Structure 1
Amino acid sequence: MPPKKGVGTSKGKQPAKRPPAKRAPPPALSSSDDEGVDGAQQEILARIAALESSRGVSAASVGGAKRPRSTRASSRVAFQTEVLKRLSALEGTANQGGDDASGAIEPGETDLPGESGTDDQAGSQVALPVAVAVDNALGDGAVAHRGRCSILICGHSFVFWAAHQAKRTAFGSQLGLSQWATVEWQGRRGLRWPGLLPLLFEGRCAPPPHILVIHLGGNDLGLVKGKALSLQAQADLRLIGKRWPGVLIIWSDILPRRVWREALDAKAIEGARYKANKALHKALEKGLGVYLPHPGIRAALPDLYRGDGVHLSFKGNNIFLDDLRRGLLEALRHIWGVEA
């Protein structure tokens, strides 16, 4: 009998060998990845390609025995590790350089007239001392307190819109006082005087402020008489002083308006506003607090108001914010002994 053919053979021939599987090439960088590589990294990648090319040419020209595969693999791993270290170092340098621009004003922010720069820039120019309150007859609230002064600005829609605009100014929401104080805003649109005490005392978890700025009363005129409003305001300010011993109250006077809504006689409302401010000014001078006027805001200047004739325009809000900052700086000088 003829010999049997071996398993897997065809007509006495040896089985065909399968070619080794090819490794998938590394994924190519996308266009977005190329955009993320800076000039220094591109230069390193070009040097890597040139070095690998030169190594291939030199190996072919030598004509000697090639190095073992394990040795070549370990050399390539070491080479790639060194490249990654250099790329990481470059990325770290780039990140450090980007921190220098953190104090820049974001797009859309605007400076107040005649002012420029941010709080951080101002602090880098002049080193100012930490605010320290000294003992006086104000009580236990803001007395003998070392550190940062807490300021609360509360009121109706004028405070609400002023807080929004302050974020877009060079001084920021802290009015340029962040080196000495922390400013908190509580503006409630449509707020009237009966809502002040609930706004301050109901649901408030933060400790009492050292300085309290109140801008309120404009929405009440026309509903109550100016004298009644001033008497109610004085009584509530005394109550606030008892609930928060040592707090410094700054009264921001009621601003004029070009239009008094639901008012039959605008001149009579303007007269009531004048009398209420005058009565509160006298009461504050007797120890109730500090009076903060706004002489630059007048109803005769239409560009200081919006089209409704009630709310302040961008220019009017800038004057209002500048008055607040001026009054708070003056209070910090006298009560906290800061120098600016």
Structure 2
Amino acid sequence: MAAVGGRESPKPPDPPGEAPKPAFLKALEAVVAAGKRGLLGPAALAAAAKVPELSPRHSRSGSEEGNNPEGSQEGPGPGSLKVERKKKKKQFKAAMAMYVKGSQKEIWICGNSVVLASEKRAENNLHGLQLGIPVSKAYVYWHGRFAMKWEDLLLVLNYLYHKRCSPSILIIHLGEDDLLSNDNLSLLMSMKNDLDILRKAFPDTVIILSSLLPICSSKTLEKSEHVEKVVKDINTRMADYCNKIKVHFMSHSSITSDKTHLFSPNFSTLSDAGANLFIADVQAVLRFYKLFA
């Protein structure tokens, strides 16, 4: 299948209706219950033990599908033929759902204004929102939010998980809107804890953490030189941690604060030129996982 480009983007496949993963949902609810999103301390662990297992979403039973699975009450007339057609149609849909569940991959790109700017740019580029990846191999799903903070990540992913099928690859770009001028230890702790939760919740998913960029919407970090220093320190620490827990760390070495044309005038997000480089880095990582034709 040819890659889809330009403004046209393929419609996403219908989620196959997987059962929720109790471990992941319990972890999220525990974090919220403890009042410390991303920090699984004793309170959160205790809350996790109290959260009941969630029941899988079951498909309709045979008795619901026609209320007469054996057709013993139906004669050979049009009524029985109609019931049989409906039964076969539902069986076909179920078989297709299983096919999609087993073969269709999804790539989620989730994050803040950097993801928004890159999505907008990708929509107008040659390869489109699919980034040149054939839909037959994977569907690329963008989910960017303006000024999204790291503490929102687990709740957003929890929401997406209920709306879509589990991702084969999850790309996360967050953190710039959480930066402080003096102490970012809390952000580092949240990033490490939440990535650890996701690593355990999605054992079959490739998790990619995108490095922070020297952008900032906060007035406390107006000087680009200071922003770059803070960002570099966090990126170094997170690259080491990602290596330990087997999370792919995606760096953006070509996007630096001295190249002002790569950013918006107030350095709050990427310009079109900067988004082009960000997209190129994403494509390079996805190419490593052999998702291109």
TM bucket (normalised to shorter chain) is 0.5 to 0.7
Number of the residue aligned with 2:233: 275
- Pick the aligned partner of 1:243 from 197, 201, 211: 201
| Percent identity over paired residues | 27
Gaps of 5+ in 2: 10-100
Which of 108, 111, 114 is the equivalent residue of 1:155? 111
Asked if residue 231 in structure 1 is aligned to residue 198 in structure 2, the reply is no
The answer to whether residue 119 in structure 2 is matched with residue 167 in structure 1 is: no
What is the TM-score of this pair, normalised by structure 2? 0.61
The CA deviation at 1:235 is 0.4
Contact 2:4 2:127 in 1 (8 A): no
* Deviations, residues 89-108 of structure 1 (Å, cap 9, x unaligned): xxxxxxxxxxxxxx9976xx
How many correspondences in the alignment? Answer: 199
Structure whose alpha-carbon radius of gyration is higher: 1
Q: What TM-score do the two structures reach when normalised by structure 1?
A: 0.53
Point out where structure 1 has 5 or more consecutive residues left out of the alignment.
Answer: 1-102, 110-117, 120-144
Aligned counterparts of 1:185 and 1:105: Cα–Cα separation in 2: 15
Q: 1:105 to 1:242 in 2, by over 3 A?
A: closer
Q: Which has the higher contact order (CA 8 A, sep 6+)?
A: 2
Q: Does residue 1:190 correspond to 2:150, yes or no?
A: no
Q: 1:1-340 alignment to 2 at 5 Å?
A: 147-178=103-134, 179-202=136-159, 204-222=162-180, 225-257=183-215, 261-263=218-220, 266=223, 267-330=225-288, 332-333=289-290
- The separation in 2 between residues aligned to 1:105 and 1:325, in whole angstroms, is 14
State the distance in 2 between where 1:279 and 1:159 align: 22
How far the C-alpha of 1:220 sits from its partner, in A, is 0.4
Work out whether residues 115 and 173 of structure 2, in 8 Å CA contact, stay in contact via their aligned partners in 1: yes
Question: Considering only aligned residues, what root-mean-square deviation do their CA atoms show, in Å?
Answer: 2.9
What is the CA-CA distance between 1:295 and the residue it aligns to? Answer: 1.1
Task: State the alpha-carbon separation in 2 of the partners of residues 264 and 158 from structure 1.
Answer: 17
